[in-house]
Structures are given as structure tokens and as C-alpha cells.
Amino acid sequence: MWNKVFTGFGYWDVISWLIFFFIASFFALWLRSIGRRDYKEGTEQDEIYWSGNPVPEDGAEISVPASSSYWGFRKALEPYYKVLVAMHSGHIRDYVGYYVVTAALIAALILVV
């Protein structure tokens, strides 16, 4: 049951992974144990630090989503994304069509080359 499984792509052994899991857990718990314990529970020292602001119920009220970090990339690649988004129509017949066309192109490529 616990034999090693050689998939041809890598190595999988349950016992090894369990050992790894326990070693990793030990280090994680050890790191946690050397953290500060001198804070007062139940006070503001226990609360989330939000740059001094009261913790909002909805973080979107005062923070800008990280997706905006990439607006420059999105703007630069807009023509590319427009085509891609348009291709994702949601109709299975379109996707099957892409598949058939791609398969035909690859087949032609293989047969010709």
C-alpha cells in the first residue's frame, strides 16, 4: 500500500512526505514559539494593524485593490486581451471550432513538414 510510485515525471512516497510534513511543522511551530508573548491579550495590542486606522468591515473602503498594480501591463496589452476576451464567447461550438482548426493546422504542419 505504501510502495513508492514512479510516475515517470517525479517521485511520490507517502512516508517521505509525512516525514517532510512533520519536520516542516516542527520548524513552523518552533518559529512561532520564539515570537513575542509580552503583548496583552484582549486589548488593542491584539487587533489588526491597519496603518493606525480602525479595522474596516470592508477593506475596499480605504484600500486600492492590488489588481490596479498591473494597469500598465493591461493597457499596453489591450489589443491582445481584446482578441482573447472576444474569443472566450462561452459557446462550446466556438471552442470546438478552435480545436478543429488548430488540430487541422497541426496535422497539415506535420504532414507537410
Partner 1 sequence: MRLEKYLEILPKSLWVMTCNSGSCNGCDIEIVATISPRYDIERFGMKLVGTPRHADVLVVTGPVTKYMKDRLLRIYHQIPDPKVVVVVGNCGASGDVFYKSYNLEGPVDNIIPVDVYVHGCPPRPEAIIEGVAKAVLKLEAKREELLKAGVEK
CB of 26 to partner 1, least distance (A): 19
Instruction: Report whether 39 contacts 45 (CB < 8 A).
Output: yes
Give the distance, in angstroms, between the CA of residue 57 and the centroid of all CA atoms in the same chain. 25
Task: Compare residues 52 and 79 and give the one whose CB is closer to partner 1.
Answer: 52
Task: Compare residues 11 and 39 and give the one whose CB is closer to partner 1.
Answer: 39
Residues 6+ apart with CB under 8 A from 46: 39, 40
CB of 44 to partner 1, least distance (A): 4
Task: Compare residues 32 and 91 and give the one whose CB is closer to partner 1.
Answer: 32
**Consecutive H or E run containing 6:** strand 5-6
The C-alpha atoms of residue 65 and residue 1 are separated, in whole angstroms, by 47
CB of 24 to partner 1, least distance (A): 24
C-alpha cell at 15: 512516508
Task: Compare residues 38 and 58 and give the one whose CB is closer to partner 1.
Answer: 38
CB of 40 to partner 1, least distance (A): 8
The C-alpha atoms of residue 86 and residue 82 are separated, in whole angstroms, by 6
List of residues contacting partner 1 (CB under 8 A): 36-40, 43-45, 47, 49, 51-54
